[in-house]
Amino acid sequence: MSRSSSLRQTLQISSDHSIEVLSIEPSGDCFYDSIHALLSKTADIQHFSGTPLFMFNNGDDDASLIPSPQTMRRYVSQQLTSEQFELYQMFAAAGVDEYSFMMAKGCPNDLPELQAFANRSGKEYGPGKCLWADEFALRTVSDGLHLTLLIVDDQAERSGRGSAKRKRSDSNDPSQADSRFISIGNYGNAVILHCSRREHFNGVLIDGCGSFDLKSSPVSYLWPATSVLLHNKNVNERKSEKPSINDGSNSCSEAKITDDRDKQEKDDLTHPTPGKFFVGCAGFSNSNWVGNFYPKNIVGHNSERQLSHYQSHFSSVELNSTFYGVPSESTVLKWKNLCAKSFRLVAKAPKGVTHELDILNGSTLTYFLNRMKPLKDVLVCVLIQCPRTLIVDVSQLEQLHSELEEKVDWYCGHLAFEFRNQTTFHDAGVRKFLNEKKWTFVVHPDSLERSTVGSSVSGRGTTDLQQYEPQKLSQFASTCSVAAGAGIVYVRLHGSNDEHTGEYNADQLNEIGQQIHNWRIQGRDVHCFFLNDCAPSMSSPQKSHAEYYEKWASMPKNAKQLEKLVFELSKEEIPDAPTKPKATLLNFFTKK
């Protein structure tokens, strides 16, 4: 069967429409070549003349001319930021194979070198010696052309395969999504790309057209994200009909939840056994930690040794790298082999769940969770961080719950929701639903309506860096619905500015420790993670009996200080770390 015939079957295209696969020469530039070829087959190319990438091309040619593949590469390279450089380093240190170039001999050492590497022609340098078309590159081109990329990925498996009970698919139901269909971008015009099992891109023409209007396309419904986009008008109308948070009925519900919480706290001021306490950092791989937490010579930048060393000090980690993309099967298996049995892993849901649509994307979450299944013995929680722009309502949570019940029956861990939107944060119905399902309402001081500094390409917006006095944990906790039926207590501590730099002082840590102690004596298990990265501070006088961790970088240092405070308050010994130093040292000298 030819590729065109096979794709016709995959895309369920009737004989009324023609389909053609543009054969693109294999190289590190195949993605850019495919986009260029598809634009060349677009009748109304003037539609793109005002887009950022066409305007960028105007420096060399007329604005109506299609940017060359190398121009697209240059555009992507210039959008790279220091944040993206750090992410690539983190992915490489975490063992993500696709980013191994960041650890290879002659690898980029700073942002300018990464930009130069990204500008390399794939035809000239070849695969592995240029920046491949990763998610950042795809999104940058999508935003630069105001173009939705509809990708048919042969490497992904069809969801629901082998299920005898699967109902006939409903094209408007995102829960029945086929994971082979990936969409990038939220624009009215689109192109179709076929990604082979060898990660090679080819362009796809429908009726001879390189790009098309999503609304008139016979295949758009196959991509769940575009189906949602085409139907979100009705969703938004339904949202506008819901009572506001200031409605009397909602206020009464809010008051009832508050009364119930106060009653529970009065009835449960003490518990015969304090709840468990897990503290750790947002990630285990950080360049600032080499020499400041990880010994340079015996650990260094080796991700396997880093994770082993981390587990000799901390019982849990919040894995943030998963936010930027679903890890490969090999990466998940590597983590499984490295995690001790008593280690607790929390993974942040990919941004496709929360940051790419105006509703929660359950199909992406189920795909992610099923990829993480090998880690089921250590994966205790999945963090779902919702941006300030996302309004989540009960109907979305109900849909999410149904999808998880149907497709992820193996997962027994927690779901923790962080809401940065004021409307969702104060929605009594949302809080009630979370409590009923024993899902967790994340406690994150200073997070409401805030956005982390980042490039607009990465979807998080830009803002001026401002220092602020961290909000007291007890003060913020009083506004949250941390009721007894809501499972664990999940705390995030991100410092005093949006770039997460700085260090918590003794007074701040004492206040945090006391609030955590209050939860523990109610029998609540508490998970707490720091994200406040900076090198060791020498501003405070060194005590003669200073603890060994006083010279660490601020994130692991503050985590260790808080651990000591919390267990001192409960008059308990600090539990042993998941791995013992002796076992960890043996790992240092094993074959890489």
Give 52's pLDDT tier (boundaries 50, 70, 90).
confident
Residues 223 and 182: beta-carbon distance below 8 Å: yes
pLDDT one-digit tens code per residue, 361-390:
999 999 999 999 999 999 999 999 999 999
User: Is residue 557 packed enough to be buried (19+ CB in 10 Å), middle (13-18) or exposed (0-12)?
Assistant: buried
Question: Is the pLDDT assigned to residue 230 strictly greater than 50?
Answer: no
| Same-fold call for 3-160+172-226 versus 268-450+470-580 | no
Residues 411 and 366: beta-carbon distance below 8 Å: no
Question: Mean pLDDT, the chain, as a whole number?
Answer: 79
- Helices and strands, number each (H, E), in the chain: 21, 14
Confidence (pLDDT) at 127: 67
Widest Cα–Cα separation across the chain: 83
Give 260's pLDDT tier (boundaries 50, 70, 90).
very low
Better pLDDT: 96 or 568: 568
Confidence (pLDDT) at 347: 97
Q: Token pair 């105001």 is at which residue?
A: 146
Confidence (pLDDT) at 198: 63
Question: Is the pLDDT assigned to residue 494 strictly greater than 80?
Answer: yes
Better pLDDT: 288 or 462: 288
Confidence (pLDDT) at 126: 75
Confidence (pLDDT) at 236: 45
Confidence (pLDDT) at 97: 75
Give 114's pLDDT tier (boundaries 50, 70, 90).
very high
Residues 540 and 551: beta-carbon distance below 8 Å: no
pLDDT one-digit tens code per residue, 316-354:
999 998 998 899 999 999 999 999 999 999 999 999 999
AA letter at 14: S
CATH match of 268-450+470-580 with 3.20.20.410: yes
Q: How far is CA 505 from each of CA 251, 512, 534, 557, rounded to the nearest angstrom? A: 37, 11, 14, 11
Residues 24 and 37: beta-carbon distance below 8 Å: yes
DSSP string, 515-570: HHHHHHTTT--EEEEE----PPP--SPPPTT--GGGGS-HHHHHHHHHHHHHHHHT
Give 545's pLDDT tier (boundaries 50, 70, 90).
low
What three-state secondary structure class fits 304?
Answer: helix
Domain boundaries, the chain: 3-160+172-226, 268-450+470-580
pLDDT one-digit tens code per residue, 119-131:
998 888 876 678 8
Percent of the chain with pLDDT strictly greater than 90: 39
Confidence (pLDDT) at 586: 38
Average pLDDT over every residue of 462-486: 67
Helices (H), 346-501: 351-354, 362-371, 394-407, 422-425, 428-437, 473-477
Give 1's pLDDT tier (boundaries 50, 70, 90).
low
Four-CA torsion 294, 300, 302, 304, nearest 10 degrees: -30
CATH match of 3-160+172-226 with 3.90.70.80: yes
Give 532's pLDDT tier (boundaries 50, 70, 90).
confident
Question: Is the pLDDT assigned to residue 496 strictly greater than 80?
Answer: no
In this structure, of 147-151, 218-222, 428-432, 525-529, the range with the lowest mean pLDDT score is 218-222
Global pTM reads 0.61
Give 511's pLDDT tier (boundaries 50, 70, 90).
very high
What sign for the dihedral angle of Cα 483, 498, 307, 96?
positive
Within 10 A of 180 (CB to CB), how many other CB atoms are there? 18
pLDDT one-digit tens code per residue, 161-195:
333 333 333 434 433 456 688 888 878 888 999 98
User: Is residue 12 packed enough to be buried (19+ CB in 10 Å), middle (13-18) or exposed (0-12)?
Assistant: exposed
The β-bridge partners of 203 are: 22, 193
Confidence (pLDDT) at 301: 85
For the record, the structure tokens of 271 come out as 């518990």
The two beta strands, 379-386 and 344-348, are parallel
Residues 545 and 295: beta-carbon distance below 8 Å: no
Question: Is the pLDDT assigned to residue 100 strictly greater than 80?
Answer: yes
AA letter at 104: A
Average pLDDT over every residue of 539-551: 66
What three-state secondary structure class fits 199?
Answer: coil
What three-state secondary structure class fits 77?
Answer: helix
Confidence (pLDDT) at 249: 36
Is the backbone of residue 359 left (phi > 0), alpha (psi -120 to 50) or beta?
beta
Confidence (pLDDT) at 375: 96
For the record, the structure tokens of 153 come out as 């990925």
